[in-house]
A = this chain, B = another copy of it.
């Protein structure tokens, strides 16, 4: 479990240090509709360099991607293992699917996201693309193997040619951590578990206060229907409503009337609904709503929602749940309950400047996706949650930076050291014994390092013990075991060394 200092605000650069040769791709001006803005320019620096025969090594990672230095890799390992241990606590099995998928597997599943898919060059053979999320590959996997019942998690990288906002943890290559339950079950039991998982993870990580917004696609569709929106415009209306967490209602209304072609009256009626949020009492009120209660979709959705709240009450987590009619979620494939968790800004005095990181988890029910892959359209109902680990990672990085804590990047337990020259052979023999006994050990790769340098290395890298063999120790058949923190040294008979080290390292 991660226990770090309170949320701090200073925005440190998330990527690794870049040398003076780090050059951004230059941007051309030729307008094209295809590539997202900010990523245009057929004559990138590299191409020009190549064309001119110039050989300037461009030392950078691709736009929107980054390396993880050891401290970042160690922090990420802690974060991912906290998430995975929650998924395992809920009985999920791991699966893995390729980073590459057939292009046609991905096309037509993501709505507006489709244009952000990375495609591979046609080098002969199949047309391939990089996966955009882990949900569509999961659905493909279920259909391909005719699996109708599965609880799985998957932690892996996905790819989107989006405009990166790296300081907020938005990258083009990023991890997703997904937990999904596939199968025909009694309503709302798996859905409630997904929300419980979000609650557990965000509580465990101690990121500060959070809120999980919940809505239902059928309720939204019911609202559109009773407000006079034709069914063909449900999806566009939905993606407009989704912006309500970022812009005020007036702007959303004008997009509905302008761009999406809804009547002003319909928009106004929608506005009355989608600005509502609350708990069980709001569900009850809407179930009595003269218009909504007449709509089959809305009624079913509200029924689900009531049941869901009943289960969430048993889980004791309704305090962090808000039934929010403005929540719409961008992806096309959702069919039922949808949800999104956001961190709340803290009124904490230690925070100099509030950090807005947006949603840190999201998910929902998608009962139709697997059927899109099945030749006979057989459906496998699914519900799942994706933890926004990149955003959480940015926050943890900022916290760590603010705390001044140094994350240990290696697990070495013992440094094998020598106090005099010409003892390399003694070090090699001893370290080999330690490795063979399963003890994590290092030595400096010098023939004759100074003892002080060796002990300094222990302090710098957090190695707790030094096993020192000098001429005297060799003659006496002992090893001097030094506690790096207390500087206490004891001679241990060689044959008892392994046991003594193990004893000292016991938690």
Chain A residues within CB distance 8 Å of chain B: 16-19, 21-22, 25, 32, 34-35, 39-42, 44, 46-47, 49-50, 56-63, 65-70, 72-74, 76-77, 88-105, 118-128, 130, 140-141, 143-146, 152, 157, 159, 161, 172-173, 181, 183, 185-186, 189-190, 192, 196, 200, 311, 314-316, 372-375, 409-412, 424-425, 428-429, 432, 435-436, 438-442, 445-447
Contacts and interface: CB of A to CB of B under 8 A. Distances in A.
Contact of A65 (B91, B98, B120, B374): B98
Contacts of A104: 46, 49-50, 57-58
A425 to B, nearest CB: 6
A421 to B, nearest CB: 12
Contacts of A429: 314
A196 B442 CA distance: 13
B152 A98 contact: no
A100 to B, nearest CB: 5
A447 B186 contact: yes
Contact of A101 (B61, B102, B105, B432): B61
A113 B189 CA distance: 52
A97 B67 contact: yes
Given A35-B125, A77-B94, A189-B446, 10 more contacts: A39-B125, A42-B124, A46-B104, A57-B372, A58-B102, A68-B97, A88-B411, A90-B441, A118-B123, A314-B432
A66 B189 CA distance: 32
Contacts of A92: 410
Contacts of A436: 200
A93 B185 contact: no
28 contacts: A18-B144, A21-B144, A21-B375, A32-B124, A34-B124, A39-B124, A44-B127, A46-B102, A46-B103, A59-B373, A62-B98, A62-B102, A65-B100, A67-B96, A67-B141, A67-B145, A90-B441, A98-B173, A99-B157, A100-B172, A120-B130, A121-B122, A183-B445, A186-B424, A186-B446, A189-B445, A196-B432, A314-B425
Contacts of A32: 124
Contact of A125 (B40, B374, B412, B447): B40
A104 B46 CA distance: 8
A73 B96 contact: yes
A127 B145 CA distance: 36
A190 B140 CA distance: 45
A50 B72 CA distance: 44
Instruction: List 3 A-B pairs, minimum CB-CB distance, nearest first.
Output: A35-B124, A185-B445, A70-B93
A126 B44 contact: yes
Contacts of A34: 123-124
Contacts of A438: 89
A375 to B, nearest CB: 6
A482 B364 CA distance: 35
B99 A76 contact: no
A310 B305 CA distance: 72
Nearest to A445: B185
Contacts of A441: 89-91
B144 A60 contact: yes
B447 A19 contact: no
Given A102-B46, A103-B46, A145-B17, A35 B123 contact: yes
A46 B181 CA distance: 30
A374 B95 CA distance: 40
B428 A40 contact: no
Contact of A76 (B96, B130, B152): B96
Contact of A428 (B61, B103, B315): B315
Q: Which of A89, A119, A128 has the most CB of B within 10 A?
A: A89
Contacts of A316: 432
A374 B428 CA distance: 33
A46 B126 contact: yes
A41 B124 contact: yes
